[in-house]
Amino acid sequence: MTPPSSEGGTTVSLSSSEPDALVDARVSPTGSLENLSQREVAQLLSAGHGGVYQLFRRCALAVLSSGLQTDDIRDIFGRYKDFDIRLGRQAWGVKLEVRNAPSSAFVDGQMIRGIKEHLFAVLRDIVYIHDAILGNNRFDLNDPASITNAVYQILRNARILDYKGRPDLVVCWGGHSIGSAEYDYTKKVGYELGLRALSVCTGCGPGAMKGPMKGATIGHAKQRIRDGRYIGMTEPGIIAAEPPNPIVNQLVIMPDIEKRLEAFVRTAHAIIVFPGGAGTAEEILYLLGILLNPANAEQPLPVVFTGPSSSADYFAQIDRFIGATLGEAAQRRYKIVVGDAAQAAREVAKGVEAVREHRRTHRDAYNFNWLLNIAPDFQRPFEPTHEAMAKLELRRGLEPHVLAANLRRAFSGIVAGNVKEQGVQAIETHGPFELHGDREIMTLLDELLAAFVAQKRMKIAGEYRPCYRLVA
């Protein structure tokens, strides 16, 4: 049954009265999307159902599935295999017609406003990236400066860079699969950040990405801050496993993991790392690899590793791994604060002031760090095929920032094999990825990954089957 048109709102029809019923709806934006050109609309209309449409459909389903307790993308796509979404024209702009959508995205016949905003943010970014970035000769995505400019343009189009105030953005990294003690601690840190008028940016998903935002909302409320920013940055390969949590009030979809990581570090005024698994290790190695570049020696960027007292062993192991692979110079780029949320926030607040002074002195923008030097090895997209993973150099004798880049790619491949559809399918077809390297490096990797598995940091639910094999 086709529901009647509803200007500026949502009209739905349920396919059954069951709690998990599928929903048909017609949805109009409420100020979250600029008008699209006729050509942009044509890209996503039903005719053709090309690659852009399929990408949009999958990202849209991920957004509508927010709150489901699973990171199994095949479960999500299989459960809603009949989901469809169409873009249509109407007098006041565009509308979306969804079929067989998850009922959890609706309340009393209305799509939850935050989910609707996220849905149109996906539309905005998918159209912009394919039209203005990938489908335009304006950007040479093999050139480092052009890649950075593309990242800037995507963020500007999403209005992430509209904020013109003092530096206040704290990027928080950590696992989507964490225990209750660690999750509660992330909320405490977020609360302390909120009390200090700091905003939060995360990967937008559950776990350590949701907790800091949830805590910050309370801190902001106590300080009567009504315009707190809760920014979520994701990319199409990960969004289904980590759908945007409902607190995110600014969502941006980056084209790939490398541009997502660059967006994090260029917008950050400080970075907090909570406990996590392979994805968190990837983020740490990306960050340290950049900061170890001699060109960034004078860049002040406060980095704090923090968690509850029960996470002390986790951070000790991470610290040993970094020291043994990247050296003491890498260890000097972060502080570890365990069991003291207020102290972690104080360290960050103090560091943010140093960042403000550095940006002011060097006449760099507060909202985007142009002066940070990011080497091409950290910008070029890495496709984790079996061949590419096997060719990674993981050995002694490499420059620390080069080894960091290769280790980052190794963990990126493990993330793909764990939760990304293409990676999961590759593992099912060809077996686990093989990583080759020095015995010492492989031993360190084995210890760290085994700890992630034992601590259930690789998967939210179910038995974890390693997608990798280490060969010394």
Low-confidence winner among 121-135, 142-156, 228-242 (lowest mean pLDDT): 121-135
Domain boundaries, the chain: 10-133, 145-374, 377-471
State the average pLDDT over residues 339-344: 98
The whole-model pTM stands at: 0.90
Which of 37 and 256 is assigned the larger pLDDT?
256
The DSSP symbol for 276 reads -
pLDDT of residue 39: 63
Q: What is the pLDDT of residues 420-454, one digit of tens each?
A: 888 889 999 999 999 999 999 999 999 999 999 98
Q: What is the pLDDT of residues 85-117, one digit of tens each?
A: 887 766 656 788 899 998 889 998 889 999 999
Helices (H) and strands (E) in the chain — how many of each?
16, 15
Give the integer Cα–Cα distance in Å for 264 and 271. 9
Position 6 pLDDT exceeds 70 = no
- Looking at the structure, give the CATH architecture of the domain made up of residues 10-133: 2-Layer Sandwich (3.30)
What ranges in 205-340 are assigned the alpha helix state H? 211-222, 257-267, 278-291, 312-325, 328-331
* Residue length of the chain: 472
Domains 10-133 and 145-374 share a fold: no
Torsion of CA 380, 383, 384, 388, to 10 degrees: -80
Instruction: Output the CA torsion sign for 28, 31, 32, 34.
Output: positive
Q: Does domain 145-374 match CATH 3.40.50.300?
A: no
pLDDT of residue 17: 41
Q: What is the pLDDT of residues 222-254, one digit of tens each?
A: 999 999 999 999 998 888 778 899 999 999 999
Beta strand spans in 308-399 (E): 335-338
Closest CA to 169 of 38, 393, 348: 348
Position 461 pLDDT exceeds 80 = no
Which of 464 and 362 is assigned the larger pLDDT?
362
Closest CA to 216 of 112, 335, 345: 345
Give the integer Cα–Cα distance in Å for 137 and 140. 7
**Does an H or E element contain 253, and which?**
strand 250-253
Instruction: From residue 201, give the alpha-carbon distance in Å to each of 210, 252, 356.
Output: 10, 11, 18
pLDDT of residue 47: 42
Q: What is the mean pLDDT of the chain?
A: 88
Contacts 24+ apart (CB under 8 A), 127-133: 127/36, 127/40, 127/43, 127/44, 127/52, 128/154, 128/157, 129/154, 129/253, 129/255, 130/43, 130/52, 131/39, 131/40, 131/43, 132/157, 133/255
pLDDT of residue 132: 82
Q: pLDDT > 90: what percent of the chain?
A: 65
Give the integer Cα–Cα distance in Å for 88 and 41. 8
Query: Confidence band (pLDDT; 50, 70, 90) for 41?
Result: low
pLDDT of residue 14: 46
Q: What is the pLDDT of residues 391-400, one digit of tens each?
A: 999 998 899 9
User: Token digits for 310?
Assistant: 């029960």
Which of 32 and 384 is assigned the larger pLDDT?
384
